[in-house]
């Protein structure tokens, strides 16, 4: 994964409302959520949510689909997995990780 994409993705997630929205969309899975459902769950005004969703979209972390009169947002799992892979690429100095229960730190 390109380092610029990693930085843009991490920057988008480095804000509480965006991080919460992304996590809700991860939980929602392939079904996704409408902006109204997200705004209600996050207790944020629609205009504020729109700004945050735009930031997540520009970072490549979300997809958007129009279904009739509604927009549905979904987490982009390939982008998320790519980001996680980039962050853990050299975990444990290239060795297999020891289960968290065995060492206390996860590595």
Number of domains in the chain: 1
Q: What is the dihedral of CA 105, 82, 19, 24, to 10 degrees?
A: -100
pLDDT, one tens digit per residue, over 13-38 is: 999 999 999 999 999 999 999 999 99
* Residue keyed to tokens 């939980």: 27
All residues at 6 or more sequence positions from 21 whose CB lies less than 8 Å from its CB, including other chains? 38, 42, 49, 52, 53, 56
Q: Give the pLDDT confidence score for residue 93 in this predicted structure.
A: 75
38 is in which domain, residue-wise?
3-103
Q: Give the pLDDT confidence score for residue 100 in this predicted structure.
A: 60
Residue 49, domain CATH = 1.10.10.10
Rounded CA gap, 38 and 103, in Å?
38
Rounded CA gap, 30 and 16, in Å?
23
Tokens of 97: 């990780």
Smallest CA-to-CA distance from 1 within 91, 83, 59 is with 83
pTM of the model: 0.84
Q: Give the pLDDT confidence score for residue 107 in this predicted structure.
A: 45
């Amino acid at each position: 994964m390109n380092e610029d994409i990693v930085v843009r993705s991490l920057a988008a997630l480095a804000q509480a409302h965006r991080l919460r929205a992304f996590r809700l969309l991860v939980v929602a899975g392939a079904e996704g959520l409408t902006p109204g459902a997200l705004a209600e769950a996050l207790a944020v005004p629609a205009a504020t949510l729109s700004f945050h969703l735009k930031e997540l979209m520009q970072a490549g972390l979300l997809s958007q689909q129009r279904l009739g009169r509604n927009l549905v947002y979904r987490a982009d799992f390939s982008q998320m997995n790519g980001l996680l892979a980039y962050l853990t690429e050299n975990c444990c100095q290239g060795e297999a990780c020891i289960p968290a229960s065995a060492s206390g730190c996860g590595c």
